[in-house]
Structure 1
Amino acid sequence: MSISYKKLWKLLIDRDMKKKDLRETAGISTASMAKLGKNENVNTEILVKVCNALNCNISDIMEIVDDDN
């Protein structure tokens, strides 16, 4: 099982936002954005900042997927 942030990237497209816009609005580092882009684990605090910036729930930005895909 692994984490996928595809929902986050789709949400950004739907809202016509760039990753840079999200980073600035949420107040997160470029390193955290890089981890999100690589589907790596990030601190829960980062996920909360992203959700607050986008006014959404955590299930709207991430999901757990099977590694078998």
Structure 2
Amino acid sequence: MAIKYYKLFNILNRREMKKTDLINVAGITSTTLARLSKNQTVNIEIIDRICCALHCQPGDLMEYVEDSKKEP
């Protein structure tokens, strides 16, 4: 997957938030957070919840990184 969520975890670090804080304020599950940590696909509704909770835009949470393994 070419979507990376490292920006989300950078935001949490800057705000001195723990992952459990995000679970509580965004209303997501620990399983969903684990998927984000592994850069796996999540539903856009999850991104919406996180953006609402953190008062940010989707681009603040994730980045598209071109996968060099894929052929054009």
- Structure 1-normalised TM-score? 0.93
The runs of 4+ residues in structure 1 deviating greater than 6 Å are none
Residue matched to 1:38: 38
Residue 18 (structure 1) aligned with residue 54 (structure 2) = no
RMSD of aligned alpha carbons:
1.0
Residue matched to 2:65: 65
- Structure 2-normalised TM-score? 0.89
Which one has the largest radius of gyration? 2
Structure 1: where are the runs of 5+ without partners?
none
**Whole-Å Cα distance in 2 between the matches of residues 35 and 10 of structure 1?**
16
Aligned residues: 68
Structure 2: where are the runs of 5+ without partners?
none
